[in-house]
Structure 1
Amino acid sequence: MKYVRISSIDLNDPFFDSLKLDYAEFQVWFNKKAAAGEGAFVMYDDNLIQGFLYLKIEVDAITDVIPILAEAKRVKVGTFKINPHGTRLGERFIKKMFDFAINKKVDSIYVTIFSKHAALLNLFQKYGFQPRAKKTTPNGVEEVLIKDMSSQTGEITLDYPLIKIVNTSKYLLSIYPLYHSRLFPDSLLNSETYSLIKDVSHTNSIHKIYICYMDVSALKTGDNIIIYRTSDGAGPAHYRSVATSVCVVEELKSKRNFANIENYLKYCKDYSIFDEGELEAFYNQNNKYFYVIKMTYNAAFSKRVTRGNLIEKIGLNPDSYWGFMKLSDGEFNEILKLGKISESIIVD
């Protein structure tokens, strides 16, 4: 995914044909934004456009909908389209909307969608967007969906990307660099490149699967996890091992929870970095007992927190086992501060 000037994009690309059909004014809009030097998030695959997202900030009341929506600082999803092809690309763009909204400190995000786009409607509603109004134009009637960035339902996916810190346990979880880069695309180090990131389900998805032999049986739904990228060997771990992200546990399963290998593969394949052969190898090692953690990828740290800082500033014990480590509430909160996670998504 890249943020590019709209003027650099070919409006004649077949990708835009459906937008031209849905919105008679689309070409005029596109050319106006291009002339103004504005930009958009674009996903390319083999130089072909697979996704396009234009976002803008609005503060006025929304008066062209029924009922009228009062003044608020909002992100408007001005134009959004993906080519669905089984890689959960929509989730990656949804996360980009949330990241943008958090960065701009807005109250909500809103989008207008024709009801005929049922899959797209379902995708937005899955992450807490609710129908609040209707917009009627010569193009037809659209649903107006709004995501309140502070509302809580108690359901992890609907509340995403909020991080609840009261009555939850906190842990640090290690992952090797190769797997980390593929699983957490927004948490790359400065020395890494987005060429590592492919248009595949486990990269695009908001939901992640982590499989391990460590005893993580203490994990419960709603617990918070700090992702810790181990050293790549290019320098001392004191500086090269870093905390990069925060996730929320959706579910924990062990090998015994899967009735058979087919059930296990179906559960893991879309969200795990391992291919089917590797997943089968995990399952077929009869002398090994594994756990499967399903979690949401809530936020990448704005500033990576090195092992050195975790020891010297947070007070983590360098002699403890860092593969899976319980954190106190204070340690967790201080790590979030060092990582410069926005306070707007941290809730009681």
Structure 2
Amino acid sequence: MSFEYKQFKDAKLDDPFFDSLRADYREFEDWFGRKSENWAYIFEQDGSKAIDGFLYMKIEDGVVDDVVPPLPAKKRLKVGTFKINAHGTKLGERFVKKIFDHAVDGGVAEIYVTIFPKHAGLVNLLNRYGFEKAAIKTTVNGVEDVLIRSMHWRDNLDRDKNYPLIKMDGDFYQVGIYPDYHTRLLPDSILNNEDVEIVKDISHANSINKIYIAAMKGLMSLTPGDKIVIYRTGDGKGPAEYRAVATSICVVEAVRTLDSFGSVDAFLNYARPHSVFSDAELSGFYKSRRYPFIISFTYNIALRHRLTRHHLIEKIGINRDAYPGFLRLTPQQFKQIVIDGGVNESLIVD
């Protein structure tokens, strides 16, 4: 399957995928034609190239006066078209992550989307990540709900509803992942010390919630809400000093052991939805007990600048003799990694 950023004119309008949009919006085909030079994220099946997902967004700055009540003047990201064919692969999360990526990159105060309430699955997904009904929009096509999501931290909400923002509380750690697993788990965080351009960021497993399976005993000291810097270990193609890099910022959701699952099926049901591993691989992990610890976390930020082990030691102050696979960071070290990693300052809440 492919997930690409394309112009409207490169999408096949006669694809059955668009039938429900034609049914919902009588002006859809005319609108689509006028947008031929605009860009959207399009997810296609390999081989047939049938479309399974489409996401179009644009930046607006001003009052939104075609809804009731009107939305006051703000810089917003409007999600113009968002549709997926859900099939149990977390495709929806993939697109939600792209929405947040663009909101951060555009420096907007809010995101909004209009949606018919009948699309319950998509509404529930958006609600999970903090979108709330704030208005309605009435047209010849019917009445749509207007869902709003603030890009500012809101206290007393669960972490998903504030995603991808990171609050500087809890504890901070560096957690190592071998290169082969890192590529599969966090494809946004490729080994590249240059800036990551959002529109060219094509991934194979871009879900927000992840499962990490490992054997480092220190992992059991993690608690929900802790922040972890993902550290891609050396790949043997050169000195680890310059090949091992910090790549990502994540937030712990839960910590469990294999022994907490009563059966392999219980483990599979827990791990499968957010794991990049096959059922056979997961079953093998369960039976061998080689990797007994399971960490659930949200994939919040891919660093724009990957920080080498050399940088972490010389500029961040990490002890050269410390085990890099799992080590505790001070809040100051974590904050400096964020700064040196080129993270948008709006994502970090003191």
Please state which band the TM-score falls in when normalised by the shorter chain: over 0.9
Alpha-carbon distance, 1:190 to partner: 4.0
Q: Deviations over 1:82-130 (max 9, x none)?
A: 1111101000000000000001110010001101101010010000000
What's the CA shift string for 1:10-43, capped at 9, x where partnerless?
2122221111111111111111111xx2211112
- Judge which range, 8-17 or 67-76, deviates more: 8-17
Q: How far does residue 196 in structure 1 lie from its aligned partner after superposition? A: 9.4
Match of 1:105 among 95, 104, 107: 107
1:14 pairs with 2:7: no
What's 1:217 paired with? 220
Q: What's the counterpart of residue 196 of structure 2?
A: none
Equivalent-residue separation in structure 2 for 1:253 and 1:262 (angstroms): 16
Partners of 1:207 and 1:59 in 2: CA distance: 31
State the one-letter code of the partner of 2:130. G
Query: 5 Å matches for 1:323-338?
Result: 323-338=325-340
State the Cα distance separating 1:195 from its structure 2 match: 11
Matches within 5 A, 1:104-183: 104-152=106-154, 153-166=156-169, 168-183=170-185
Could you say what secondary structure the match of 1:181 adopts? helix
TM-score, length of structure 2 as denominator length = 0.92
Corresponding residue of 2:45:
45
CA drift of 1:234 comes to: 2.4
Map 1:70-89 to 2 at 5 A: 70-89=72-91
Letter in 2 for 1:251: A
Q: Quote the Cα distance in structure 2 between the aligned partners of 1:176 and 1:49.
A: 34
Q: Which runs of 4+ in 1 moved over 6 A?
A: none
Structure 2, unpaired ranges of 5+: 194-199
**What SS does the aligned partner of 2:342 have?**
coil
**Per-residue deviation, 1:260:** 2.6
User: Is contact 1:181-1:197 (8 Å) kept?
Assistant: no
- Which aligned pairs between 1:1-348 and structure 2 lie closer than 5 A? 1-34=3-36, 37-46=37-46, 47-152=49-154, 153-166=156-169, 168-190=170-192, 197-198=203-204, 203-215=205-217, 216-285=219-288, 290-348=292-350
CA distance in structure 2 between the partners assigned to 1:108 and 1:29 by the alignment: 24
Deviation at 1:316, TM superposition (A): 1.1
Residue type of the alignment partner of 1:84: A
Partner AA of 2:129 in structure 1: Y
TM-score, normalized by length of structure 1? 0.93
Share of identical aligned residues, percent? 50
Distance 1:311 1:281, change over 3 A: same
- Aligned-pair Cα RMSD in Å: 1.9
Q: CA contact under 8 A between 1:182 and 1:196: conserved in structure 2?
A: no
